[in-house]
Amino acid sequence: MVYNRESVMNKNYRLGELFCGPGGIGAAAKLAKVKKNGLDAGFTHVWATDYDKDSCDTYRKNLKAKHVVQIPIEELFRNKKHLKKLPSIDCLSFGFPCNDFSNVGEKKGINGKFGPLYTYCVEALDYFNPKWFFAENVSGIKSSNLGDTFSKILRELKNAGKGYDIFPHLYKFEQYNVPQARHRVIIIGIRKDLKKTFYIPAPVATDPEDYLSCESALKGIDKRAHNHEVTKNSEIVTERLNYIKPGKNVFNSNLPPKLKLNIKGAKMSMIYKRLDPKKPAYTITGSGGGGTHTYHWKYPRALTNRERARLQTFPDTHIFCGSKESQRKQLGMAVPVEGAKIILQSVLKCLNDMPYKYIGNNINTHNSGIQLKLNIN
């Protein structure tokens, strides 16, 4: 299917970001451009905020936002003097912390420490009234509290500011030129007075045979590349990895007794799991102890942060600041650049009434009301 209407506007959109992280969405916005009738539409980075110093340093180093502010989100909205220093924007992006919605966390949902932070994003929409927004979170947000939390979040986003039509979708980023099985809910909101309908961009690939493999993604990294330092293993970890074949983990491998893990209860499939070189990587995470660092299929070691950045489709010129563990955290929380670029370009085409291939969304919200129908598959 193709979306096409009469032309309305051409412009660069002024972008502001909350919870900006190391700049996954920002880097995507830098690359996302469309051209019509000889005119370009794209993005200008205006401001970005995050509580984490290293993330702000990374963002500042790579993206030319005029204002990059390290500040806790609570303080930003508690003291309006900080908020008033941020210029007006056309679009707002935010990936509010996913810790309480993630399938690998305690799943506290809206009752957790991080769950309620989305309310500051709603407050930002009230304050800035941007023409549209881009919101991101983990797939687990759909089913948190049997879907009640997600319904509440969507309802409040819909009613924020001057009111928004919202278009949520669960994206499988391995279908969008990302060599990683990373599934995220993206919500595009367009202000009602613009009278625009956003359609979900069609996947680049739907056949797993056509997905980008992690082997192809990690080819050709210069040994001198930034953020490419190898973390040394203990002898027992190296020995354990040598027994684990590509695509396998510590629990489904034939290990001698001394190398097995004595873990009772649930056994996470990603523990000491080595990548399958012919498939997309499994989801890159930003935290976790021994055995959770994502492991190379050929070498008995964890991936370097530059290799993780490749799987998140950051360009090699995007340099990450801070310690190796801080870089890992930043990468694990980031939105894949290439996937976000495809979505942002589709928004530009929608707003400029340009044709693009699209599919039906897999989360139905009934824009005229608050009832939510979930396809949780």
Lowest mean pLDDT among 104-108, 198-202, 318-322, 326-330: 104-108
State the pLDDT at residue 150. 87
Domain total of the chain: 1
Which pTM value belongs to this model? 0.90
Question: Using an 8 Å Cβ cutoff, are 271 and 331 in contact?
Answer: no
Q: Is residue 92 a part of any domain in this protein?
A: yes
Q: How far is CA 184 from the centre of its chain?
A: 7
Residue 303 has pLDDT above 80, yes or no: yes
CA distances from 305 to 61, 81, 228 (A): 17, 37, 6
Tell me the C-alpha to C-alpha distance, in Å, between residue 109 and each of 97, 160, 162, 205, 288.
11, 21, 27, 32, 20
The answer to whether the beta carbons of residues 283 and 311 sit under 8 Å apart is no
Please give the average per-residue pLDDT across 183-194, as a whole number: 97
Q: What is the 3-state secondary structure (H, E, C) of the chain?
A: CEECCCCCCCCEEEEEEECCCCCHHHHHHHHCCEEECCEEEEEEEEEEEECCHHHHHHHHHHCCCCEEEECCHHHHHHCHHHHHCCCCCCEEEECCCCCCCCCCCCCCHHHCCCHHHHHHHHHHHHHHCCCEEEEEEEHHHHCHHHHHHHHHHHHHHHCCCCCEEEEEEEEEHHHCCCCECCEEEEEEEEEHHHCCCCCEECCCCCCHHHCCCHHHHCCCCCCCCCCCCCCCCCHHHHHHHHHCCCCCCCCCCCCCHHHCCCCCCCCCCCCCCECCCCCCECCCCCCCCCCCCCECCCCCCECCHHHHHHHCCCCCCCCCCCCHHHHHHHHHHCCCHHHHHHHHHHHHHHHCCCCEEEECCCEECCCCCCCCEECCC
Q: What is the CATH number of the domain that holds 169?
A: 3.40.50.150
pLDDT value of position 115: 54
Residue 138 domain-assigned (yes or no): yes
Residues 240-292: tens digit of each pLDDT: 999 999 999 999 999 999 999 987 665 678 899 999 999 999 999 988 888 89
Looking up tokens 């009613």 gives: 159
Q: What angle do CA 8, 14, 20 make, to 5 degrees?
A: 130
Q: What pLDDT shows up at residue 146?
A: 55
Domain that holds residue 67: 2-210+335-374
Tokens of 91: 């679009």
Average pLDDT over residues 333-337: 97
Q: Is there a domain that residue 99 lies in? A: yes
Q: What is the pLDDT of residues 91-148, one digit of tens each?
A: 999 987 644 444 445 444 445 454 578 899 999 999 999 999 999 998 888 776 656 8
- In this predicted structure, the answer to whether residue 368 has a pLDDT above a threshold of 60 is no
Instruction: Tell me if 30 is assigned to some domain.
Output: yes
Give the chain's mean pLDDT.
Answer: 89
> Given a cut of 70, is residue 206 above it in pLDDT?
yes
Residue 372 has pLDDT above 50, yes or no: no
What is the percentage of the chain residues whose pLDDT exceeds 90?
75
Q: Is residue 126 part of a domain?
A: yes
Query: Nearest Cα to 219, choosing from 316, 340, 286?
Result: 316
Polymer length of the chain: 377
d(CA 294, CA 32): 29
Res. 11 pLDDT band, cuts 50 70 90: confident
Angle at 132 between CA 128 and CA 134, to 5 degrees: 105
pLDDT value, residue 366: 61
Residue 149 has pLDDT above 90, yes or no: no
Provide the token pair at 22.
Answer: 């190391």
Q: How far apart are CA 44 and CA 77, in angstroms?
A: 24
Which residues carry out catalysis? Answer: 98
pLDDT at 99: 47
Domain annotation covers residue 125? yes
pLDDT at 38: 84
* 36 lies in some domain: yes
Number of neighbouring beta carbons within 10 Å of residue 194? 16
Mean pLDDT in residue range 213-228: 97
Domain assignment of residue 321, yes or no: no
pLDDT at 315: 97
